[in-house]
Amino acid sequence: MSRGLNKVMIIGNVGREPELRFTSAGKPVTSFSVAVSRRWTDSKGQRREETEWFNVVAWGNLAEICADFLYKGCQVYVEGRLQTRHWDTEAGQRQYRTDVVANEVTILDRNPNHHNTNGSDEESLTEPLLSVEEYS
């Protein structure tokens, strides 16, 4: 019996304001980006940093909650699966985009209406402010 696993877990900062749209059937969908940075010291002793950007898509009730509570800069935990879609441009070139399709989003900031601009970690929590799982 062969089984597969497609699971992604990221913690990062929302990179752009969430965009709520509705399908032609009226189902809500929200998209936003998350920046995840890692820091290390290279073999020459230089401090290095690298940021990876993830496109995130949430559907249904989770989409509406993300649109209401997420904002650019807030820290989030996102759990979901990877999905790659493709389309052809008018010039005939095939384009690809890989998204994280979220089934759980946890806001890690203390207050989703407060933008922490002082750069301190004093606002971090041991318990998340809001955690939502979408069951399909």
Look at the alpha carbons of 20, 21, 26, 29 in this order and tell me if their dihedral is positive or negative. negative
**Per-residue H/E/C for the chain:** CCCCCCCEEEEEEECCCCEEEECCCCCEEEEEEEEEEEEEECCCCCEEEEEEEEEEEEEHHHHHHHHHHCCCCCEEEEEEEEEEEEEECCCCCEEEEEEEEEEEEEECCCCCCCCCCCCCCCCCCCCCCEEEECCC
> Into how many domains does the chain fold?
1
Is 1 domain-assigned?
no
- Is the pLDDT higher at 107 or at 110? 107
Is 105 domain-assigned?
yes
Is 120 domain-assigned?
yes
- The mean pLDDT of the chain is 86
Q: What is the CB-side half-sphere exposure of residue 7 using CA atoms within 13 A? A: 5
Is 2 domain-assigned?
no
Task: Look at residue 34 in the predicted model and tell me its pLDDT.
Answer: 98
Residue 79 structural domain: 8-40+47-133
Is 30 domain-assigned?
yes
23-50 in b/e form (b: 16+ CB < 10 A) is eeeeebbbbbbbeeeeeeeeeeeeeeee
d(CA 90, CA 110) in angstroms, rounded, equals 46
Is 54 domain-assigned?
yes
- CATH number of the domain bearing residue 128: 2.40.50.140
Tens-digit pLDDT profile for residues 28-72: 999 999 999 999 999 999 999 999 999 999 999 999 999 999 999
d(CA 100, CA 34) in angstroms, rounded, equals 10
Evaluate if pTM is beyond 0.95: no
Question: pLDDT band for position 134 (50/70/90)?
Answer: low
Is 3 domain-assigned?
no
Is 78 domain-assigned?
yes
